[in-house]
Chains A and B, each alone.
Chain A
Amino acid sequence: MTRIQHSEEELPWDDGGDFALVDLVNRVLDRGVVIHGSLTISVAGVDLVYVGLNAVLTSVSTARRILGIRTGHGSTGG
């Protein structure tokens, strides 16, 4: 059964403040559709990512550390 998509009214963006970096990182680094044979590959069930053209494959958690992204402490800001 097809779902008919009506034209949508604007989503109520919460632009009172920028989203927390941890919420962004948790989604774009760990979730979403993955293209295998692309930047991310899996070895023994562990997702690995290229951090740079000449970089060694590393895990997502290590990539976060390399990017200097803290994933905790506080609910707002980066």
Chain B
Amino acid sequence: MDRPEDEIYLYCIRRADHAPPADLPGVGGAPTLHLERGELSAWYARLPRRAPDEAALRAHEAVVREALRTATPVPLRFGMWIADEDALAALLDRERERFLALLARVGGRVEMGVRGVEPETREAVAEATSTATGLGPGRAYLERRRAALGAGEARDARARRLAGLVRPALEEVAEEVVTVLVPDPRTIFEISFLIARGAVRDFRARADRLAIPGVELALSGPWAPYSFVMEGVEG
């Protein structure tokens, strides 16, 4: 029975070759449904819109990962709600070529991540307050911005150099690579690689052989290709 407060929560778009398993609870414990339009299929849930929490993030990825098992889907960002199944069908029809192009780009591939972190915590920028420096709040703000930019430039150069020590060894098995420098104060770089599904073991073996002095490497994946489908479509 459709409740008036229900909305559609979207997980991913894929080719209409596999339905979600019957026992796959997702966000809010709601069952995972699918809607097919031609050669496309959307995996979704139907429930009242709810505030996000960590469990919901994990549930989103659990459903996307289940889709990834059978064939690489185009994952949606967390938090994509639309009104109802009619709107979903209209979305698939309207953006059919975009989704097919994205599926062609990532088909047969998965994403692997390599994150470089500081072996020990270091603060990159000291916090300055107007009270401590005796400056007015506006001037203190500008001083903080100037200090942050200076530290940022040096930090980015170091991040670029260290990321450059990691990329070449792994680029060989990758179709595409995305590098993010200093996404947060404790992460030096984060590199995502789009690789063939059959290359995961080879990629892991190569990553395990890497040893960069002063950097701790954290490997993750396989993921659905979140980093390689970063596009917006009209709802």
Contacts and interface: CB of A to CB of B under 8 A. Distances in A.
Interface of A: 3, 5, 8-14, 19-40, 42, 49-53, 55, 63, 67-69, 71-76, 78
Given A5-B108, A23-B113, A63-B52, A31 B235 contact: no
Contacts of A38: 79-82, 235
B138 interface: no
Contacts of B115: 20, 22-23, 75
Nearest to A63: B52
A76 B79 contact: no
Contacts, number: 161
Interface string B54-67: 10011011000000
B51 A55 contact: yes
A33 B81 contact: no
Q: In the complex, which of the residues A3, A5, A69 has the most CB atoms of chain B within 10 Å of its own CB atom?
A: A5
Contact of B57 (A14, A25, A73): A25
B180 to A, nearest CB: 8
Contacts of A5: 15, 71, 107-108
Contacts of B235: 35-38
Interface of B is mostly: mixed
Contacts of B204: 12, 14
Given A32-B229, A49-B52, A69-B57, 16 more contacts: A3-B104, A5-B71, A8-B197, A26-B190, A27-B223, A34-B77, A34-B80, A34-B233, A35-B80, A35-B232, A35-B233, A50-B79, A52-B50, A53-B50, A71-B186, A72-B187
Interface stretch (B127-135, B150-158, B163-171, B214-222): B214-222
Contact of A49 (B13, B79, B226): B79
Interface residues of B, number: 65
A73 B216 CA distance: 11
B226 A32 contact: yes
B35 to A, nearest CB: 14
B10 interface: yes
A25 B113 CA distance: 13
5 contacts: A11-B110, A27-B227, A32-B75, A32-B76, A35-B76
